[in-house]
A and B are shown apart, each in its own frame.
Chain A
Amino acid sequence: MKFLFKDKLTSVASLILLLFVTLAIFGPWIAPFPKEGAGASHVDNSYIGPGWHHLLGTDELGRDLLSRIIYGARPALFIALAVVGFAAIIGTLLGLIAGYRGGWIDNVIMRVSELFLSFPSLLLSLVAVTFLGPGLVNALIALIISWWPWYARLIRVEASIVKSKPYVEISAAMGVPGRTIVLRHILRNVTTPLIVQIAADLGTVILAAGSLAFIGLGSQPPSADWGLMVAQGRNLIFDQWWISTFSGLAIFLAVLAFNILGDALRDHFDPRIARQ
């Protein structure tokens, strides 16, 4: 775990991430106004600027912005883990099948994944969530739809490389069943690139989920979602600037921390790429 603190920037990123994880788990106990964080409005307090009582000010319904942002940590981390997790599972399964079996199955899986990659992935998610209907769960599904092909292709390449290594060929010749080879040799050898890819994607997913919510296709009010909160403050940016500014800052810091740690993880596991 030393690499998480290998230089100043990485250490700062680790601390930011630790903070967000703490907020996500213990948010209701940390937030100064837990009821407002959960959505209770307090209309006579609306649009109070940042100050002692409300550190980051209040929003249009008089809710304490800091508490809302703290409550937003949980859905943000949840969506990142869920999207990347499901995409990685689906992609790894298909990639393993394609890479190990080869032949027509390989062809079909790869052509289908190419279809999904034929337009910008965020656009695919936007279109998918539009037709599925706005909401957190549908946004999740929409993001998984555009994310799995990357994993399938990554794992397929790795699997086909490992498959042709002599020790794997020998175990196949010795009559070791295919399932054992895939689980024992191939899956183990693809874990490193898989972890590196997952780490690199977590931040990107938060960014994409925030974008869906900003347009109005992700989480719906009254949920405490950072992207949604930026959108709610959008038309007030010149006067009640704090609403969009601080909500967006939360997205930015989370994505930044994940991206820096993703880089550190990649350098740690695969110094070859780092040097390029």
Chain B
Amino acid sequence: MKVLRNRLSSAFLVLLGASFITFTLARVIPNDPALAYIGPKATAAEAAKLRITLGLDQPIPIQYVKYLFQTLQGNWGYSLSTKQSVLQEITSRLPATLELITFAMGFALLLGITLGVYAAKYRGRFQDSVIRILAIAGVSMPAFWLGLLLQMLFAGRLAWFPATGEFDIELKYDHPITKITGFPIFDSIITGNYHATLNGLHHMILPALTLSAYSFGLLSRMARANLLEVMSQDHVKVARAYGLSERLIFFKLALRNALPPIVTVTGMSSAYLITGTFFVEQVYNWPGIGSFAVNSLLSIDYPAIMGITLLAAIGYLLINFIVDIIQSKLDPRVWLQ
């Protein structure tokens, strides 16, 4: 309990700090936010009036405290470009991004661990070096470039997958998805709208693969290294000497002990997944937070940017928290630290 309380209070401090940094950065803006809001044609008097309504005329510490209270109350301000509530914009776009991240993580874990194990098995041989090159290519690949390449090859030349979007446009009329949780693919599954599910998955593959490349690279290297280390430990040697089957040794002894570092790396790569969505969503016109973030950055939409960074900090904390919980389940010593 005490551990949990410490964690929560430090999480709160981190969020406070994150909000402080974004707020400070947003105050360095050279342009006048009020002008961005009403457009260049407005008169000076109109701008001055708006500055008062938006609270931009007050001293900065007061603005910050106000911002904090409003944020806690769920008032995240209004986007300058869409004029909608930032919180509303974010919550309506979050499901699309979360589904994308989930699939990307799934691909990365599946491919990363499988190939990592495979590389460990064929250590020092041809297969091992091919996988090593794939892994290092994965972490060196700009996501936006990989996205464009996959688009050109698999959507353009081969026409196996759609180039952009989350669903076909016609789907809205043919097989509309009933909104239950707001997560489109999940909703289509629970409502039995399999046409939409298949269509969604078809659209999901290229963006999710693009986003997964970096995590895949990290994971496969980590899985290989840890597996090799565990396999050389004494208890595994003894188990071998006793004549236990390789299969049993692998799943019961090796993989289980190699898991904690794999979970750590998964958490580490989450930072990349969060910013990776910016580029992947941009390339694939994905209607999620990432494309909203890029548009907000380009239009210096400061309430939206502050909302998005706060959300990213929360997401980052949450992922690290979940990683710690999984770690403690795998290795009870972790909680004591």
Complex formed: what's the CA distance from A119 to B141 in Å?
22
Give per-residue flags for B119-139: 1 if the beta carbon is below 8 A from chain A beta carbons, else 0.
Answer: 000000000010011001101
Whether the Cβ atoms of B132 and A120 lie closer than 8 Å is: no
Of B26, B148, B272, B278, the residue contacting A131 (CB under 8 A) is B26
Q: For the complex, count residues of A whose C-beta is within 8 A of B.
A: 46
Complex formed: what's the CA distance from A248 to B163 in Å?
19
Would you give the shortest CB distance from A212 to chain B, in whole angstroms? 10
Q: Does A88 interact with chain B (Cβ within 8 Å)?
A: no
Whether the Cβ atoms of B305 and A130 lie closer than 8 Å is: yes
Whether the Cβ atoms of B140 and A203 lie closer than 8 Å is: yes
Whether the Cβ atoms of A252 and B275 lie closer than 8 Å is: no
Q: Does A216 interact with chain B (Cβ within 8 Å)?
A: yes
Q: Does B313 interact with chain A (Cβ within 8 Å)?
A: yes
* Complex: chain B residue closest to A250, CB-CB: B145
Would you give the shortest CB distance from B261 to chain A, in whole angstroms? 9
Of A114, A120, A130, A230, the residue contacting B300 (CB under 8 A) is A130
Known: A131-B28, A238-B152, A259-B140. A215 touches B229 (CB 8 A): no
Whether the Cβ atoms of A121 and B14 lie closer than 8 Å is: no
Q: Does A90 interact with chain B (Cβ within 8 Å)?
A: no
Whether the Cβ atoms of B274 and A215 lie closer than 8 Å is: no
Whether the Cβ atoms of B22 and A127 lie closer than 8 Å is: yes
Q: Does A15 interact with chain B (Cβ within 8 Å)?
A: no
Q: Does A86 interact with chain B (Cβ within 8 Å)?
A: no
* Complex: chain A residue closest to B155, CB-CB: A238
Q: Does B225 interact with chain A (Cβ within 8 Å)?
A: yes
Complex formed: what's the CA distance from A262 to B142 in Å?
18
Chain A residues positioned under 8 Å from B28 (CB to CB)? 131-132
* Complex: chain A residue closest to B27, CB-CB: A131
Q: Does A176 interact with chain B (Cβ within 8 Å)?
A: no
Complex formed: what's the CA distance from A255 to B140 in Å?
5
Q: Does A210 interact with chain B (Cβ within 8 Å)?
A: yes
Would you give the shortest CB distance from A68 to chain B, in whole angstroms? 16
Complex formed: what's the CA distance from A146 to B251 in Å?
40
Q: For the complex, count residues of B whose C-beta is within 8 A of A.
A: 51
Complex formed: what's the CA distance from A75 to B302 in Å?
29
Complex formed: what's the CA distance from A127 to B305 in Å?
7
Complex formed: what's the CA distance from A234 to B147 in Å?
10
Whether the Cβ atoms of A215 and B25 lie closer than 8 Å is: no
Complex formed: what's the CA distance from A210 to B145 in Å?
10
Known: A120-B272, A244-B148. A238 touches B225 (CB 8 A): no
Give per-residue flags for A215-246: 1 if the beta carbon is below 8 A from chain B beta carbons, else 0.
Answer: 11100000000010011001001100100110
Give per-residue flags for B209-249: 1 if the beta carbon is below 8 A from chain A beta carbons, else 0.
Answer: 00000000000000001000100000000000000000000
Whether the Cβ atoms of B149 and A245 lie closer than 8 Å is: yes
Known: A123-B309, A127-B25. A230 touches B275 (CB 8 A): no
Whether the Cβ atoms of B30 and A9 lie closer than 8 Å is: no
Give per-residue flags for B277-288: 1 if the beta carbon is below 8 A from chain A beta carbons, else 0.
Answer: 011001100000
Q: Does B50 interact with chain A (Cβ within 8 Å)?
A: no
Chain B residues positioned under 8 Å from A241 (CB to CB)? 152, 156
Residues of chain A at the chain B interface (Cβ within 8 Å): 9, 114-116, 118-124, 126-128, 130-133, 203, 207, 210-211, 214-217, 227, 230-231, 234, 237-238, 241, 244-245, 248-249, 251-252, 255-256, 259-260, 263, 275-276
Which 10 pairs between the two chains have the least Cβ-Cβ distance? A248-B145, A120-B271, A115-B17, A256-B140, A255-B140, A122-B275, A238-B156, A119-B313, A118-B14, A130-B297
- Listed by A's residue number, 5 A-B pairs whose Cβ atoms lie within 8 Å are A123-B309, A127-B25, A210-B142, A215-B298, A245-B149
Other A-B contacts than A120-B271, A215-B297, 5 sampled, CB-CB below 8 A, are A119-B18, A120-B274, A128-B25, A211-B142, A260-B136
